[in-house]
């Protein structure tokens, strides 16, 4: 994992922890405010105003619950998106490693009849098929430089970044314009 991605991940985790702590503080504060307000108002309310005070208290309680539920859902979506993003990262890192291995085997002139070379070729075949023959493959003897494999790596990196960007949109709420 590149250093910038590691720093960004730590920043995201710290931001999420701060947000959760802040959410809990706000939730507790709102509950305390609502309860103390209701007690204060009910102690000095005229009998004809008691129905109105009860309605206001009910509305405040409903609003507090709606906000807490909304934040809980948002936090849940963020956690789910983060977990899925980790799985996506793992899959793409495997893809990068396999393509790099295939590239290195060709560069070193590995024997095509070798079982390991055949296995790596079978696994990476579907991943590299769309990129075959995009550009020529310079070779010298048994050594081959598959430039199309490097192009495939770049394309997979861009796809990986796009997918993680989509997960960030789901996980993080934009608070500034």
- For the cut 90, the answer to whether the pLDDT of residue 48 exceeds it is no
Residues 6+ apart with CB under 8 A from 61: 34
Higher pLDDT, 25 or 130: 130
Work out the angle at residue 30's Cα, subtended by the Cα atoms of residues 27 and 34, and round it to the nearest 5 degrees.
Answer: 140
The structure's pTM equals: 0.61
Burial of 38 (0-12, 13-18, 19+ CB in 10 A): middle
Q: What is the pLDDT of residue 53?
A: 72
Q: What is the pLDDT of residue 60?
A: 81
Q: What is the pLDDT of residue 99?
A: 96
pLDDT digits (tens, 9 = 90+) for 83-138: 888 999 999 999 999 999 999 999 998 898 999 999 999 999 999 999 988 888 88
| DSSP code at position 137 | -
Q: What is the pLDDT of residue 175?
A: 54
Q: Which residue do the tokens 């509305």 mark?
A: 59
In this structure, how many other beta carbons lie within 10 angstroms of the beta carbon of residue 139?
A: 12
Q: What is the pLDDT of residue 98?
A: 97
In the predicted model, what is the mean pLDDT of residues 149-161?
96
Q: Which residue do the tokens 């934040």 mark?
A: 71
pLDDT digits (tens, 9 = 90+) for 58-80: 888 888 778 877 778 877 777 88
User: Cβ(145)–Cβ(170) under 8 Å?
Assistant: no
In the predicted model, what is the mean pLDDT of residues 161-177?
77
In the predicted model, what is the mean pLDDT of residues 158-163?
96
| DSSP code at position 174 | -
């Amino acid at each position: 994992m590149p250093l910038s991605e590691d720093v960004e991940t730590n920043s995201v985790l710290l931001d999420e922890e701060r947000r959760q702590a802040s959410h809990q503080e706000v939730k507790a504060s709102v509950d305390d405010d609502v309860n103390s307000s209701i007690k204060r108002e009910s102690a000095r309310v005229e009998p004809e105003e008691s129905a109105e005070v009860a309605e206001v208290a009910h509305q405040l309680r409903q609003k507090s619950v709606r906000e807490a539920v909304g934040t809980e859902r948002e936090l849940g979506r963020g956690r789910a998106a983060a977990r899925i993003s980790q799985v996506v990262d793992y899959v793409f890192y495997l893809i990068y490693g396999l393509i790099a291995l295939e590239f290195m085997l060709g560069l070193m002139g590995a024997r095509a009849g070798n079982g390991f070379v055949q296995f790596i070729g079978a696994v990476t075949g579907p991943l590299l098929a769309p990129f075959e023959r995009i550009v020529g493959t310079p070779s010298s003897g048994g050594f081959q430089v598959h430039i199309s494999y490097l192009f495939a790596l770049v394309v997979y990196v861009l796809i990986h970044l796009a997918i993680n960007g989509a997960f960030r949109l789901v996980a993080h709420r934009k608070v500034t314009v």
